Amino acid sequence: MRRIVLTIAMLMLVSVSITGCEPKHPGPEVRSEGVYFTFYAPEAKNIAIAGSFNRWDSHKDMLTGPDKAGVWSIMMPLPGGRYEYLFLEDGTTWKPDPGAPSVDDGFGGRNSVVVIERKP
């Protein structure tokens, strides 16, 4: 019985350790100079962001990276408003932002959403 309890305790510790090591997906961060977008994709060759703010042009806004943690990023000077967007990995795979809310895109998929409230 003691061996079973110790085994369960060890599995719980391993589970907590693994969960704590997962990459964080903070979502877009609204700053005074714009919106800071990040996307975790350490194996990607390039990441673009496309959305209602750039007429869904997947060639216009490329993220820089990845950094040592595998995170790509871009600062976008956006005015206040509500924007839908997706990340495009290696020019082939559309991916939502795991750190942002999403809405139905009307075609069976989901778009990420960021709302920017600027004070006058």
pLDDT in tens, 64-105: 999 999 999 999 999 999 999 999 999 999 999 999 999 999
Q: pTM (2 decimals)?
A: 0.78
Looking at the predicted structure, is the pLDDT value of residue 31 above 80? yes
In CATH terms, the superfamily for domain 25-116 is Immunoglobulins (2.60.40.10)
Looking at the predicted structure, is the pLDDT value of residue 59 above 50? yes
DSSP-based three-state secondary structure for 29: strand
Looking at the predicted structure, is the pLDDT value of residue 26 above 90? no
Ranges of each domain in the chain: 25-116
Q: Label residues 53-74 b or e (16+ Cβ within 10 Å = b).
A: bbeeebeebebebbeeeebbeb
Percent of the chain as helix, strand, coil, to the nearest 5: 20, 40, 45
**Which residues make Cβ contacts (< 8 Å) with residue 50, sequence separation at least 6?**
56, 57, 58, 60, 61, 85, 86, 88
Query: Where does the pLDDT of residue 1 fall: very low under 50, low under 70, confident under 90, or very high at 90 and above?
Result: low
* Over residues 15-24, mean pLDDT: 46
Looking at the predicted structure, is the pLDDT value of residue 12 above 50? no
